[in-house]
Amino acid sequence: MPTFPALFGRAPAVVATAPGRVNLIGEHTDYNDGLVLPTAVPLRTTIALAVRDDDRVRVASAAVAGGAVREYQLGHETPSGEWLDYLQGCTRALAERGRLSGFEALVTSTVPLGSGLSSSAALEVALLRALRKAFALPLDDVTLALLAHRAEHDFVGARVGVMDQMAASLGDVRSALLLDARTLVHEAVPLPASLALIVIDSGIAHRHAAGDYNARRSECEQAAALLGVASLRDVGPGELAQASALPSPLGRRVRHVVTENARVRDAVAALRGGDLRALGALFLASHASLRDDFTVSLPELDALVEIAAADPAVFGARLTGGGFGGSVVIAAHADDSESTAVRIARAYHTRTGSPGRVLVGATARQPVD
């Protein structure tokens, strides 16, 4: 693996990290101004950085092209469709906050790409944390998350909501982050010690910038316009009958968002009350809604959820992230959660032939290194 001194001939001046995240419940609700409940995972992206005295940016990723150094010029950021766009988007967003000079950076990460754990947000937030430190920028954690979101939404072109960046900037592994995506009001909800969160990769990569994700967002916007509301956050359960009369599939999209917001509230109550069976039932209901009403699941994800749900150590499971691949999150007994994770992954591999890689399999109390 390349080192910073080997690539750039000096030691880094600052090092910053940010976690990946798993969304416990509240999928495709953030860009509808709704409620989400993510938590950080003990997988992180790290940026080592040193300042230059010109306007050149030289960066390398240990995971891409053998650590080859890529370059661009501040003020001339141009989308390329590659990983460098996430960094370019951040420096473009920061341009309004004060002048940067160039820098050199090395990216290393344990957050796997395309697995639904928001490797992009971890990269953006880690870079912005490093730049905040290097240039003494007066950015609080919420502002930093909003800059990271602007980078991905406006520059990269993935029309994601703000959840991923808020979770990477504010989240921790011992609590869930209850976030109102409209107001940005947030609070930590402690995770019970009896709960293990298991994340298993389906083996099918997904990309937020792909058309299917953006298409779902457009459908939600169409539905909101037809219903005469600013966003689907403003639709209540009593208006679902009216929504069902919308052209297909818009009514089903509305039903998912409305019921998913309610499930977030119920999941918070379940966590606070230590009712993990209720939490598991909400996971399963969320997956069914994502599969049937929002149609973002795949047969492999359905199989993984079905296998997990049948395990006696599991309370419930659901796809997590944007869908169309990626991972599932499983709520399980904390006792011997590692063996539970391996058992489910093996059964998934036997049924589908896909590897079923365990990404997170320890208890909710696992510390961050």
In sequence order, the 6+-apart residues with CB closer than 8 A to the CB of 93 are 147, 148, 150, 151, 154, 155
User: Does residue 164 carry a catalytic annotation?
Assistant: yes
Helices (H), the chain: 4-8, 84-94, 119-135, 141-150, 163-170, 211-227, 240-244, 250-273, 276-292, 299-309, 337-352
Cβ contact 181:161 at 8 Å? yes
In sequence order, the 6+-apart residues with CB closer than 8 A to the CB of 369 are 42, 44
In eight-state DSSP terms, residue 112 is -
Which entry of 164, 201, 293, 311 is annotated as an active-site residue?
164
Taking the CB of residue 113, how many other CB atoms lie within 10 A of it?
A: 15
Partners of 105 in beta bridges: 49, 59
Q: How far apart are CA 175 and CA 22, in angstroms?
A: 12
In sequence order, the 6+-apart residues with CB closer than 8 A to the CB of 31 are 159, 160, 161, 181, 217, 220
What does the block give as tokens for 347? 């059964």
Amino acid at 272: R
In sequence order, the 6+-apart residues with CB closer than 8 A to the CB of 183 are none
First to last CA, the chain: 20
Q: How far apart are CA 314 and CA 307, in angstroms?
A: 10
Amino acid at 48: A
Distances from the Cα of 170 to the Cα of 36, 193, 241, angstroms: 13, 21, 37
Partners of 186 in beta bridges: 179
In eight-state DSSP terms, residue 157 is -
Q: What share of the chain is helix, strand, coil (3-state, %, to 5)?
A: 45, 25, 35
Tell me which residues are annotated as active site: 164
